[in-house]
Structure 1
Amino acid sequence: MEKTKTNQPVQEKGSWDWDVGEKKIVSTTYCSTQFEWIEEFQASPDGEKIAMVAKVGGFEFSVCETGDIWDPPYEKIWHLGYGPDGRLVALVAQDGEWTVAVNGQTWEETYGFLWGSMFSADGKTIAVAAQQNMEYGMVIDGKPWKKFFENANQFALSNKGDRSAAVVQTKSFAQADILAYQKGCYTVAVDGDPWEREFVNVWTPVFSPDGSRIAAQVRTSLYDYTVAVDSQTWSRAFAGVWTPLFAPKDKSVVAPVRERGKWGMARNGEIIWEPVFDQCWHQQFSHNRENLWAIVAPQYGHFTLARDGQAWKTRFPVVTDLVLAPQGQRAAALAKDDKNQWTVITDDTAWPGRYAMVWPAVFSPNGEHLVAKVERNGKYTFVLDGKELSESFDQAWDPVFSPDGDKIMLRYIKDDAYFRRVVRREDFK
């Protein structure tokens, strides 16, 4: 097998085609008539390609990308998708062994099983979770950790892709060996090297923005939860914690914490948001590094957003997928009402439309505009600042703003064909 080249150039939005208009990329009827069956379509970030897994023979599968077929075929293919740099990646099996295929070329090494493809922020690095000889670890650009473990999960990759981590089991214990379990059998392995300290449980390891540090939720006893940073725990324990986050300004660590039956926020173990919420999680720092946002429930079953501990007045039974504007103070999230209809909330106000589904919203580069893909009555369309596009489609992908924010690229399927279209903001009425 040929080894994948990983030094491919990253796709830059400025180099994409931003001429206004619709371009037909390929007919999808070719795919449905050429093969016995096909799987879900995947669109490239620049919209110029579309791909899917296809059954090409009795027990053979391949990938069809805009009419071109990967050769040779494989026994199994799954987790097909495009990376941030536009390369098409899939997990493939041949003769019962799994590897990674990138643009049709496979890594040299094979494994008993692979899952959970991850990419660095620029897409140059590809990592996967792996099982080999009933031990578990990670493989980065075809290179496995030097040590695999009896159990590994909660895999993570740094933004640059130069470091990787996972929760690992360091000691074997019988199914009913409660005493051994309570002494601590789990820790975080970074690049395959486990922390020296072990815990009752560990969850969600996260890297600092520069990848130099790592933090995780830990349970030090059956009843005490806290955060460990580079294996060192906060000096204070809580009744519960959620996923930690590094502050981009000073590398401090913040995490939602539970105390006296309520949730708040702590920084390096010290309370910064008083525990007054029924729930508090999914925190993010604004891009100007000044404000901390989170999804909160000021009352049971009433969710909204909070900035620096101050909750919005707009409340819904469900709020999820918090996103922040690249500049300024704006935030947005998805919200579901008591009729199971979805919308977008931003600036403490809900968009007027209600939909069967809404996908995470996207801010323009200057943060002034917000666009999202939505579904209604089995059809898909796009909404900009609460205004719907007049057309609907059979399938669609997330919209993308041009670098200047004046145009939006749409990717969709209609009338048995895949299209790439660039529109102006004025096209939303």
Structure 2
Amino acid sequence: MLQRPQRGDPFWIWLLHSWDLLAWAVIGLLALITVLGGTPGPQKYGSLALMAVLAAANAAVRRWGRRRPLGGYAYLALLVPVLGALAYLRDGYGVLYTVTLVQFVIYVDSLRGALTASALGAVAITAGGVLREGWDTDTLTKNTISSLGVYAVSVLIALLTPRALELRDERARLRAQLASTQAELAEALRREGAARERARMAREIHDTLAQGFASIVVLAEAARAGLAGDPDRSAAQLRSIEQTARENLTEARALVGSGPQIAPGSVAQAIRRTVERFAQDTGLAVEADLPDVDCDQPTRIALLRCAQESLANVRKHAAASTVGVVLAEQPYGVELEVTDDGRGFVVGDAPGFGLDGMRRRLAELGGELTVTSSPGDGTRVLAVLPLGPGGPAPVPPARELESGAPTHDSQV
């Protein structure tokens, strides 16, 4: 059964649909002429009743028989005798065979069925005209030739329609596939966005809250151990715990609010505050060279987080005595280098989340992270970022990456 054409359907489908609409417009017009004209009573009411029955049957098969081929055949089984009866009742009603030609095609599911149904319609309209005009050779010849001419058009329609329907169905399948692909792509993008957001939140929590909690635990253990022997130091450690907890609370509010922020000022000042807190909490000697570097907020945050993560790793793993923190502006960007003289490690075997989070954070800004270490030789972490937002990835000179130990991507 012919469905309502969609954008992109073949022209032939649109033509058949328009033809079907025209058929019902002609039937309506004939019904109106019959009502308003001087048609004798039996012919008038008989033709109106037949057209009403035909319209009702068509509405029923369109509503309930759209996916049932037998419904279309049942409608054509009614259409054929109705056309013959109308041709018998009124002169000129034979035109209805012409205007309903497409119905012999759109209500069947095979070429043979279309040709057979259309042939029966031609026979019916011919018989109705001959019975009305009188049975003689001239009348039979005239009506037969007229019906055969229209039937030839019906054959042409029946031959051309299947290919048009195939094209329509193929385009419908393509539209369905496109809609399905678009839906799948939208869902994939949604999942990817959610995954990116989870990764971002995990990184922010690790670099802020988790590090703060780890520092609180270490300070609390040290304060508890020193309560009896060194109460002044324990008091200082408790104050540091309080300060760290307040900072964690501020970080938590920022994460659920407008996003991560750092205090106003230069990146050098922010890193210097972190270094001073680290030295105060750990008692380690820290050599810091932190000149002012002019950079945007994302770069400041990335450099500060790299400094915090690197110093946290020193605190947890290095067992170092001396730590170095150097911030430097180079022609190719800005560098942050954190070194220690601790126990070192095999870079490729190190577990954890920290360095991977730093690496991802830097990569988002076009930067890169280099980690150099080996057992017993300390560790060097070098973060490099371009100064211009969205600029190309920085390429430090080869001497900046030289080290006695191999460099690998890793995590601590």
Report the TM range for the smaller structure's normalisation: under 0.3
Larger Rg: 2
- Using the size of structure 1 for normalisation, the TM-score is 0.23
Higher-strand-fraction structure: 1
TM-score by length of 2: 0.24
